[in-house]
Each structure stands twice: as structure tokens, then as C-alpha cells.
A and B are shown apart, each in its own frame.
Chain A
Amino acid sequence: MSISAETLKNSNSSYLSQGFKAVWPICIGYIPLGIAMGVLGQKAMLTPLQVLAMSLMVFAGSGQFIAVSMISAGAFIPSIIATVFMINLRHLLMSSSLCVYMKKVSPVKLTLLSYGIVDETFAVNIEKLKKGNWGPRRAIAVNFFAYFSWALSTFTGCYFGEFIPEGSFGIDYALTAMFICLLIFQLNGSIYFITAVISGIVAVFLAMTLEGNSYIVISSIIAASIGVIIKKRKNYNEQ
């Protein structure tokens, strides 16, 4: 569907509500994670406003966790920034993958959309974009609902952190459960299944051997490359 048709058909409220319908489980999943991040921030002597500022500027779960632990450890500012950069490099792949669906979208929308790319919003948006009937406005709505849920949760965690018991109601599993479901959404054929298996095996192996989270980018690149080669061979054999 073209952008103009999408704009004509849908009022602002409908794309916001459609975005919300797609993203609410993520917003819930962010509450325990954000609170945990806020509590860590408080322990690192940050104020709730400082934690909020970081969430609004950076919007990256694992990056922020590591930054805060480095602040507590008294690390130098450049080394914290360099670490955050490395951790967030995987967003490069996600942004590249989204661009296939974002032809002829305005620079402002592309910029807004890119600001909110994280693992979870990417997975929800790519699934919707593949099915069609999903455009930049809804994708931006998804990203910003998640963004505000994250920012508010981290602020709350820093403010009230001490009073919240750890691991209540299995909420620590919220994001894992979502990844299970989002992975299933992506299994649209044998080549996707094969790629998932390769990536899973390589990632587990690398996660056991490498420091940090570089295993995500490395195993994704390896698995997608093998997937393309297998697909080529299969097409060639069928001809």
C-alpha cells in the first residue's frame, strides 16, 4: 500500500490504536526490565532525572545496563561510550533490514522511525511489514509507545526501586516469552527455519566463548549468509 493511500484511509487515532494493539505486550515486558535498570541507576548514585535523561537519549536496554554498571565501577567516559556503541551495533542490521520496506518514505519519518529501533520493536514491526497493511506511521507509533514505557519504567525504578520485590510473578520471563512468539512469526518457510537453527546453535556456542553480546551480530551474519547460499543452491537444483 502506498503512503498516500495509507494517509487517506487512516486518521491519526487509528494508526495510534493499531500501533498500540501491536506493542502493548512489549510495554508490559519493559516494566520489570526498566525498573531493574532504574534500581541499578539509583545504586550507581544517579538521580531519577538522570536515569530518565539516559533512557530518553539512548533507549537501549542492554547498553544502559552496562553503562550504569561501568559508571558504578568508575570507568572513563570514552570507554563507556565505546562499549555502548559496540553493544548497539546490532541495530545496524535491523535498520538495514527495515529499509527494504521503507521506500519513498520522508526523511523526517525515517529519522523518527530509526530513533526507536530496538530488538523488540524491530521484531514486531518487521512481522507486520511482511504481512503488509503496515506503514511507517504505525511503525513509528509502535516504537514510541515502547520508548515511553521504557523511559517511565526506568524513572519509576530509580524513584521507588527499593520497595519493589525482585522477580515478582514470573515477570522476568516476559521478554523471553515474547522472543519465542516473535521467532515463530518469522518462520515462514524451510529456509527461515534452517537459518533460525543455524543462528541459534552458533549464538549459543559463541555466547559461551565470547565476552559481551557480540555473539548476536556475528551469529546473525553467519546464519543469514549460509541461508542465502542454501537458498541459491535449492533454486539451482530445482531449475
Chain B
Amino acid sequence: MSNEQYILLVVGMGIVSFIPRWIPLFYLSKKELPKPVVEWLELIPVAILSALLFPALLVDPHTKEFVLISPQTAAFIPCFIIAWFTRSLGITLVAGMFFFWAGTKFM
């Protein structure tokens, strides 16, 4: 790929990445949304986080198989408990990395 082609590619990628981020925030924030829509939007964050987290824990990205016992799921339990009680992103991060590291060592 030539440098000119690469620039074209990156600019194109930039535009299609920016538009979905920009349009709702730019246009919807000026409008009063109906109550059911607001309620729906309030449930979107929890739904997205759950949809990001559980497949990452339970589905092998290469084989697409369900995997219940792995260093990922073993680290999940202590990590969840620590996050629940500390409510700290930093502590959870460090603890999660430690348990996962230990999990890969011993599993």
C-alpha cells in the first residue's frame, strides 16, 4: 500500500468512526426526548458493559466455543468481590491483573 493510499484509508476510517459518535450527541442533545426513550437510553450503558464483559470472559475468540473454566473466569470471582466492596477502578485493575497472572501460572 502506497503512502497516498494509506492516507486515504486512514482519513476514511476517521470519518466513519467519528460520524456515529458525533451525530447523536450533536443533534439529540438539543431536543427533549420522550420519557420511554430516555429510560431506554439509561439502560443502554449497563447493557453495553454486560455485552462487552461476558463474551470476553466466556467465549473463546478464536473457536467461538463456550469456556466456563479458564484463568479469565477464575480471576472474575475475586475481582468482582473486590470491585463490589472497594468500588475502586484502580484497586480492581491491579487485583484483576494479579489474579489473572496467578491463574495463568497455576491453571
Contact = CB atoms under 8 A, between A and B. Distances in A.
Interface on chain B toward A: helix, strand, loop, or mixed SS? Answer: helix
Contacts of B104: 167, 170
Interface in A88-114: 88-100, 102-103, 105, 107, 110-111, 113-114
A161 B54 CA distance: 30
A46 B97 CA distance: 30
B11 A57 contact: yes
Contacts of A102: 25, 29
Chain A interface secondary structure, helix, strand, loop or mixed? Answer: helix
B16 A186 contact: no
Contacts of A169: 97, 101
B51 interface: yes
Interface in A190-239: 191-192, 195-204, 207-209, 215-216, 219-221, 223-225, 227-228, 231-232
A173 interface: yes
A85 interface: yes
Interface string A110-130: 110111010100111010000
Contacts of A88: 16-17, 20-21
A234 B28 CA distance: 28
Contact of B55 (A80, A103, A203): A203
Interface in B5-50: 5-14, 16-18, 20-26, 28-29, 33, 36, 38-50
Given A97-B44, A170-B97, A183-B46, A178 B10 contact: no
B89 to A, nearest CB: 4
Contacts of A199: 46-48, 50-51
Interface in B60-92: 64-66, 72, 75-76, 79-80, 83-84, 87-90, 92
Classify chain A's interface size.
35 or more
A231 B44 contact: no
Contacts of A60: 17
Contacts of B18: 114-115
Nearest to A193: B46
A17 B95 CA distance: 24
A60 B46 CA distance: 20
Interface string A157-186: 000000000010111111011111111111
